[in-house]
Structure 1
Amino acid sequence: MSQEEEYYEDEDYFANCGDDGQYDDNEEYYEEEKVQQDDSQKIYLACENRLYQNEAIEVVIQNYTLLIKQIAKENGISEGCAFLIMQANNYDKNKQDNIPNHLIDTIFYQESNDLVACKDNKECLLCFDDITQNKGYSLYCKHYFCMSCFKEYVKACLQEGSSILQKKCPMVGCQERLGLSDIFLFLTQPRERNLICKFLLNDILQHNKLLVQCPHSECDNILDFGNNVIVQGKQLNLKCKCSKGYFCSSCKEDAHLPCSCSMLKTWMELIQGKNQDSLNTIWFQLNTKPCPRCKVLIEKNQGCMHMNCKNCNFHFCWLCLGEYVNHEDFYSCNKYKKDDAKDLSKEQQTLKKYEFYTERFKDHLNAAKYTQKESQNQIDNLKLNMKETFKEDKKIEEEIQFYVSAYDILIEAKKCISYTYPIGYYIEQHKLGYFEFLQGELEKNIEPFEQKLNKVKFQELFSNDNENQKFFQYKAEIIQHTSIIKKYLTNMLRDLGEELPDLDIKQMKMKSKAYSKLSKKYSQIPHQENIKAEAHLETDYPILMCDDCKINPIQNDYGLCNACLNSRYEN
């Protein structure tokens, strides 16, 4: 195969050929298997939010309260028993008609003669005072108590905490349960009602793993995954609509894919244990570096790694301190050069490696935070400049979505890059090469993409003379670049989620050329076609075939034919 051919990297492609190279007749079976593989292997980006709905906590509570009332009405049972059914079904809205067998006797309980005899009584069963008209209260069981006694009973139940949701009728031996309506009727203070809502919410979240509460302080949102059971037990980067945004579905810390929760815990213990300096010293180390030319200390106050010294006008890379004009091989500054430390002691080498990865981890994390903060200012500025062209707010919101989506992808990509450095620190040496390749490919494409977003002069995009052609051209270019960054990001997350291969330098270089050709190819799409860049990225990859066995490659074969184990790269 010639070098002009490009490496096939489409994540949605699976070969339909058997070991003999012939098409398998049992197509329906393999199509079913393909769907299952696609669901389990698919990369879900937080910024796309295709898996869940953002709901306010009060809306979630209200919906479940209404659902419990509906179950009670349809089954002719009390709200307390309907709550038991909902809880037993893990608050699954699709199982509201399902009454588990082990609850049948509890819900449709048999009453003793003594309990039956106490129904519709004329005196309170607690204080034995006469119950005057409209002054008594009972649950579904018809055991009456005076209002003051029942109120005291409910308040006493509240003192016992969340167990109030499981409390029964005060009548000794009665199996009827308190319902939410009963509880709220007697607990009228805001503090009391908030406690009940908190108990109910905690119970819902404990049972239903498809509901996730945003962990950020002062946020009252729930992420509802509905019927997407494929995500259960899967670590995901999630994005709430609150200002704080991203978090991990598993540990609820800052979203940290592709780094696992266990690795992140080990990593944070490592870096926090070694950072005992004062806060001022830590800030100084994180945010200042000497200019490589004039040695004047420079403070980093933007998200981009391209720095310009105001003292001597020297342009350099913040990460490697190399001159930026010659910074063609950008991702090389993400590589730890072990040879530079070969003359050092083992302890010094360990410290050098630690400093390399922690410095880049913090730099990229700070850059991601800055970009997230900066993005809203940029979006607001673009909206302001769009007002003359697009008069209606609704039209402005529609037209600006491409820019919002671009920043969402950029922020998530930068966060993901940050959390690749703990992986680089712990990864086996023989897998480091391919890891750095994946990391570098995304990293070197982020910089020009970010500059395309934040260096644009919005005023120049709008002109009545050319019917805002510059704006629509810019929009098409951003959509195209967003699609490319998304592709690099999903490729990196997918590969780092699997077992990395041990590839030699030649193979990595060949694959790097293929990726470079891919970037070049889509940077040259004519402007009028850029709007469809996403579709091009999904369909226009060439389907390569092994020259030896003539079988199409499958996902993640890393250039090696799985059938004959021969390399498809040219010698």
Structure 2
Amino acid sequence: MENPGLFTAIHRPGDKSPSQVDFVVRTPADLVRIQRQEAAEICNVFGMSMAHATMMLRTMRWNREKLIERYIDDAERVLRDAGIADIETDAARPTVLPLRHQLCEICFSNEPNVPMYALACDHAFCVECYNEYLSHKIQDEGLSARIQCPGTRCPNVVDEPSVEMLAHPVDYVKFQRLLLRSFVDENQVMKWCPAPGCEYAVECHTPQSALDSTVPTVKCRCGHEFCFGCGYANHQPCICNLTQLWLRKCMDDSETSTWISVNTKECSRCRSIIEKNGGCNHMTCRKCSYEFCWVCMGPWAEHGRTWYHCNRYGEQSSQAARDSQEKSRSSLKRYLHYYNRYANHEQSARLDHQLYLKTEKRMESMQQKSDLSWIEVQFLRDAVDTLVECRMTLKWTYALAFYLEPGNLTTLFEDNQCDLEMATEQLSGLLERPLERKSIPALRQQILDKTAYVASRRQILLDDTAEGLADGRWRFNMSLIN
């Protein structure tokens, strides 16, 4: 595959930071050109048609080196896996012939001069039946690269030239679109941009094996940033595995169960769920009126004046129960600490997106109240872009921090996190300030300086985390992960 180079709107080869990866954005025209180049090279090596070379490349997920190696070792198997019956017969196959002594195997037509078509397997069908068959496979089943011959259990695949000749134009257009889709889906170094309506694909050569030590964030030409590894929106600096664990944890009902186990108990008599809403340990079930002790769950009448010791149940068992509950409380409290901050930045980012609407009006107002041109007031939009980026980064720092083991490195990470958080709040405050004619020059300079500072602090945090992942410096709390 051709050298991917770099998407110059992001960075140049010599300017790449530790938290950045090389990638290139591909247009549909680029994808068609790449397919043709790949097939042409196989044609030159083995002297076969473009259609056959393309079919074999699809079977090998567009891995040219793997195809060459396999074809040299066992050409018959490669052809069979690609659905090619006979490479020489297929290449010299006639187009459409009138029916002479054969019947269509679908409609059994025997009318004279009915146009027929057959692959090298010689399963002959009239063009009209072939047309309907292809339309069903393309439009209803969404197939393209693996449309097999209509013959019963025939493994041969209908190649692209045959589809172009036999299918309706509207079916062939969708067929080509599906082929383009499958080219990216089957390609290990390409992925479609997940933004709604986007037609671009991104090529990135970061292997799956590197996802434990890097977050391959790419940016499409449509402006959408996403992780090439898992397809989620940009979640730097949290690696894919921890991101998925965190999202699953946030959605899992286990946290609700933890809260219930910490804050509620079952009535010993009727098994109703009871929540303690006061300080007194003397509990009365509203359903069955049973009176019991919240600490040991024993009958309240047996406690007398020394109820707070719970002597009848033994100090050891009572202490174990309290220790278990305290452990659950501590675990829940720790989770809520990180989750609340994660959710807060997520909500703030959504609210900051609303700033774009306000910013447009503020830019117009600033232009009217000062001598600044429309280009010169664009710093407000840049500031909002930076603010939203920082909110999303901070959001994921709390997901990562939840899994980090305590230590000096974690302390340094939290210091960088704190610096970025403080600077982000300061920038947010500056963007909310009212516009007064006299203060506009000073406010503009403050916002410019703070935007640059916030962006630099974000990059420092991302680069430091990326370097730590690459060097294996970070240690994760495996008890939380497992």
TM-score for both structures, normalised by structure 1: 0.51
Residue 43 in structure 1 maps to residue 19 in structure 2 = yes
Write the deviation string for residues 524-562 of structure 1: whole angstroms up to 9, x where unpaired.
xxxxxxxxxxxxxxxxxxxxxxxxxxxxxxx999xxxxx
Report 1:530-545 matches (<5 A): none
Report 1:54-453 matches (<5 A): 55=27, 78-84=49-55, 86-87=57-58, 90-91=61-62, 100-103=68-71, 105=75, 106=79, 122-123=98-99, 127=104, 129=110, 132=113, 135=115, 146-155=126-135, 157-158=137-138, 161=141, 164-167=144-147, 178-180=158-160, 182-183=162-163, 186-188=166-168, 194=174, 197-198=177-178, 200-209=180-189, 211-216=190-195, 218-225=196-203, 233=211, 234-240=214-220, 245-272=224-251, 273=253, 345-379=326-360, 381-382=362-363, 396=374, 402-431=379-408, 432-453=410-431
Unmatched tracts of structure 2, length 5 or more? 1-11, 258-324, 474-482
Q: 2:435 aligns with which of 441, 457, 474?
A: 457
Deviation at 1:405, TM superposition (A): 3.7
For residue 235 of structure 1, what is the amino acid of its counterpart?
Answer: V
State the alpha-carbon separation in 1 of the partners of residues 439 and 112 from structure 2: 78
Residues 132, 66 of structure 1: alpha-carbon distance in 2 compared, 3 angstrom cutoff: farther
For residue 183 of structure 1, what is the amino acid of its counterpart?
Answer: V
Deviation at 1:346, TM superposition (A): 3.4
Contact 1:361–1:418 (CA<8 Å) still a contact in 2? yes
Contact 1:138–1:144 (CA<8 Å) still a contact in 2? yes
State the alpha-carbon separation in 2 of the partners of residues 389 and 194 from structure 1: 54
State the alpha-carbon separation in 2 of the partners of residues 230 and 389 from structure 1: 52
Contact 1:53–1:224 (CA<8 Å) still a contact in 2? yes
Residues 354, 82 of structure 1: alpha-carbon distance in 2 compared, 3 angstrom cutoff: same
SS at match of 2:385: helix
State the alpha-carbon separation in 2 of the partners of residues 136 and 356 from structure 1: 72
State the alpha-carbon separation in 1 of the partners of residues 162 and 92 from structure 2: 21
Deviation at 1:359, TM superposition (A): 1.4
Mark the structure with the bigger radius of gyration: 2
Deviation at 1:484, TM superposition (A): 2.3
Residues 400, 148 of structure 1: alpha-carbon distance in 2 compared, 3 angstrom cutoff: farther
Deviation at 1:367, TM superposition (A): 0.7
Unmatched tracts of structure 1, length 5 or more? 1-34, 278-343, 463-469, 501-554, 558-571
Residues 227, 171 of structure 1: alpha-carbon distance in 2 compared, 3 angstrom cutoff: same
Write the deviation string for residues 459-518 of structure 1: whole angstroms up to 9, x where unpaired.
7799xxxxxxx4xx8666555433322221122122223549xxxxxxxxxxxxxxxxxx
Deviation at 1:87, TM superposition (A): 2.9
Identity across matched positions, percent: 18
Report 1:467-478 matches (<5 A): 470=441, 478=447
For residue 224 of structure 1, what is the amino acid of its counterpart?
Answer: V
Deviation at 1:169, TM superposition (A): 6.0
Contact 1:221–1:240 (CA<8 Å) still a contact in 2? no
TM-score for both structures, normalised by structure 2: 0.58
Q: 2:454 aligns with which of 482, 485, 502?
A: 485
Contact 2:423–2:454 (CA<8 Å) still a contact in 1? yes
Residues 157, 493 of structure 1: alpha-carbon distance in 2 compared, 3 angstrom cutoff: same
Deviation at 1:362, TM superposition (A): 1.0
Residues 265, 430 of structure 1: alpha-carbon distance in 2 compared, 3 angstrom cutoff: same
Write the deviation string for residues 17-45 of structure 1: whole angstroms up to 9, x where unpaired.
xxxxxxxxxxxxxxxxxx99986x62229
Contact 1:119–1:141 (CA<8 Å) still a contact in 2? no
| More RCO (CA 8 Å, sep 6+) | 1
Deviation at 1:443, TM superposition (A): 1.0
State the alpha-carbon separation in 2 of the partners of residues 122 and 70 from structure 1: 33
Residues 347, 402 of structure 1: alpha-carbon distance in 2 compared, 3 angstrom cutoff: same
Residues 225, 480 of structure 1: alpha-carbon distance in 2 compared, 3 angstrom cutoff: farther
- RMSD after superposition: 5.4
Write the deviation string for residues 223-272 of structure 1: whole angstroms up to 9, x where unpaired.
423778899754233445658x4433222234222122222333333333
The size of the alignment, in residue pairs, is 377
